[in-house]
Amino acid sequence: MFEHKTSKVISVNRFVRRQLKYIAYALCIIAFSLSIGVVGYHHFSDLNWIDSLLNASMILGGMGPVDILTNDAAKLFASFYSLYSGIVFLATIAVMTAPALHRLMHILHLENGREDQL
Protein backbone atom coordinates (compact mmCIF):
# COMPACT_ATOMS: atom_id res chain seq x y z
CA MET A 1 0.00 0.00 0.00
CA PHE A 2 2.69 2.47 1.04
CA GLU A 3 6.33 2.36 0.05
CA HIS A 4 8.80 0.40 2.15
CA LYS A 5 11.13 2.25 4.50
CA THR A 6 14.10 1.39 2.29
CA SER A 7 12.41 2.96 -0.76
CA LYS A 8 12.77 6.58 -1.74
CA VAL A 9 10.21 9.08 -0.54
CA ILE A 10 7.58 9.57 -3.24
CA SER A 11 7.31 12.87 -5.09
CA VAL A 12 5.08 15.64 -3.84
CA ASN A 13 2.69 15.16 -6.78
CA ARG A 14 2.25 11.44 -6.03
CA PHE A 15 1.81 12.24 -2.34
CA VAL A 16 -0.90 14.82 -3.07
CA ARG A 17 -2.74 12.32 -5.29
CA ARG A 18 -2.47 9.68 -2.56
CA GLN A 19 -3.70 12.14 0.07
CA LEU A 20 -6.67 13.13 -2.09
CA LYS A 21 -7.52 9.45 -2.63
CA TYR A 22 -7.59 8.83 1.10
CA ILE A 23 -9.70 11.93 1.67
CA ALA A 24 -12.14 10.52 -0.89
CA TYR A 25 -12.20 7.25 1.09
CA ALA A 26 -12.96 9.21 4.25
CA LEU A 27 -15.78 11.09 2.52
CA CYS A 28 -17.26 7.76 1.41
CA ILE A 29 -17.20 6.55 5.01
CA ILE A 30 -18.94 9.75 6.12
CA ALA A 31 -21.56 9.53 3.36
CA PHE A 32 -22.31 5.89 4.19
CA SER A 33 -22.57 6.66 7.89
CA LEU A 34 -24.77 9.67 7.28
CA SER A 35 -27.11 7.61 5.13
CA ILE A 36 -27.45 5.05 7.93
CA GLY A 37 -28.40 7.84 10.30
CA VAL A 38 -30.88 9.48 7.94
CA VAL A 39 -32.68 6.23 7.20
CA GLY A 40 -32.63 5.22 10.85
CA TYR A 41 -34.06 8.50 12.12
CA HIS A 42 -36.66 8.50 9.37
CA HIS A 43 -37.74 4.95 10.17
CA PHE A 44 -37.53 4.86 13.96
CA SER A 45 -38.43 8.47 14.84
CA ASP A 46 -40.99 9.11 12.09
CA LEU A 47 -39.16 12.32 11.19
CA ASN A 48 -39.29 13.76 7.69
CA TRP A 49 -36.17 13.42 5.52
CA ILE A 50 -34.78 16.89 6.24
CA ASP A 51 -35.17 16.53 10.01
CA SER A 52 -33.63 13.05 9.79
CA LEU A 53 -30.68 14.51 7.90
CA LEU A 54 -30.31 17.27 10.48
CA ASN A 55 -30.33 14.85 13.41
CA ALA A 56 -27.96 12.39 11.74
CA SER A 57 -25.57 15.20 10.78
CA MET A 58 -25.58 16.61 14.28
CA ILE A 59 -24.90 13.22 15.86
CA LEU A 60 -22.21 12.34 13.31
CA GLY A 61 -20.60 15.73 13.86
CA GLY A 62 -20.56 15.22 17.61
CA MET A 63 -23.10 17.91 18.49
CA GLY A 64 -26.03 15.81 19.67
CA PRO A 65 -29.63 15.34 18.53
CA VAL A 66 -31.92 18.25 17.67
CA ASP A 67 -35.38 16.70 17.97
CA ILE A 68 -36.81 15.08 21.07
CA LEU A 69 -37.19 11.34 20.58
CA THR A 70 -40.54 10.08 21.81
CA ASN A 71 -40.38 6.29 21.48
CA ASP A 72 -38.00 3.68 22.82
CA ALA A 73 -36.95 2.38 19.39
CA ALA A 74 -35.82 5.86 18.36
CA LYS A 75 -33.91 6.31 21.61
CA LEU A 76 -32.16 2.97 21.17
CA PHE A 77 -31.28 3.81 17.58
CA ALA A 78 -29.92 7.21 18.62
CA SER A 79 -27.83 5.58 21.36
CA PHE A 80 -26.24 3.04 19.06
CA TYR A 81 -25.82 5.56 16.24
CA SER A 82 -24.04 7.92 18.64
CA LEU A 83 -21.59 5.20 19.67
CA TYR A 84 -21.10 4.22 16.03
CA SER A 85 -20.51 7.87 15.11
CA GLY A 86 -17.73 8.19 17.66
CA ILE A 87 -15.95 5.21 16.18
CA VAL A 88 -16.50 6.52 12.65
CA PHE A 89 -15.01 9.87 13.67
CA LEU A 90 -11.82 8.19 14.89
CA ALA A 91 -11.61 5.90 11.85
CA THR A 92 -12.13 8.78 9.44
CA ILE A 93 -9.36 10.82 11.07
CA ALA A 94 -7.07 7.77 10.86
CA VAL A 95 -7.84 7.24 7.17
CA MET A 96 -7.29 10.90 6.31
CA THR A 97 -4.02 11.27 8.21
CA ALA A 98 -2.43 7.90 7.35
CA PRO A 99 -0.61 9.09 4.19
CA ALA A 100 0.76 12.21 5.87
CA LEU A 101 1.90 10.34 8.98
CA HIS A 102 3.50 7.64 6.87
CA ARG A 103 5.35 10.23 4.82
CA LEU A 104 6.56 11.98 7.96
CA MET A 105 7.72 8.71 9.51
CA HIS A 106 9.35 7.70 6.23
CA ILE A 107 11.26 10.96 6.09
CA LEU A 108 12.33 10.72 9.72
CA HIS A 109 13.07 6.95 9.53
CA LEU A 110 11.01 6.15 12.61
CA GLU A 111 9.11 3.08 11.39
CA ASN A 112 10.98 0.76 13.74
CA GLY A 113 11.34 3.25 16.58
CA ARG A 114 14.99 3.83 15.75
CA GLU A 115 15.62 7.39 16.82
CA ASP A 116 19.37 7.04 16.12
CA GLN A 117 18.69 7.68 12.42
CA LEU A 118 17.63 11.29 12.99
Q: Is residue 1 part of a domain?
A: no
Q: Residue 31: is its pLDDT beyond 70? A: yes
Q: Is residue 36 part of a domain?
A: yes
- Rounded average pLDDT over 64-85: 93
Instruction: Judge whether 56 lies within some domain.
Output: yes
Q: Is residue 6 part of a domain?
A: no
Q: Taking the model in full, what pTM does it have?
A: 0.82
Determine, yes or no, domain membership for 100.
yes
Structural domain including 98 reads 12-117
pLDDT of residue 110: 54
Of the chain, the percentage scoring pLDDT greater than 90 comes to 69
Residue 54 half-sphere exposure, CB side, CA atoms within 13 Å? 10
In a domain? residue 3: no
CA atoms within 13 A on the CB side of 18: 18
Domain membership of residue 30 (yes or no) is yes
Percent of the chain with pLDDT over 70: 92
User: What is the reported pLDDT for 112?
Assistant: 56
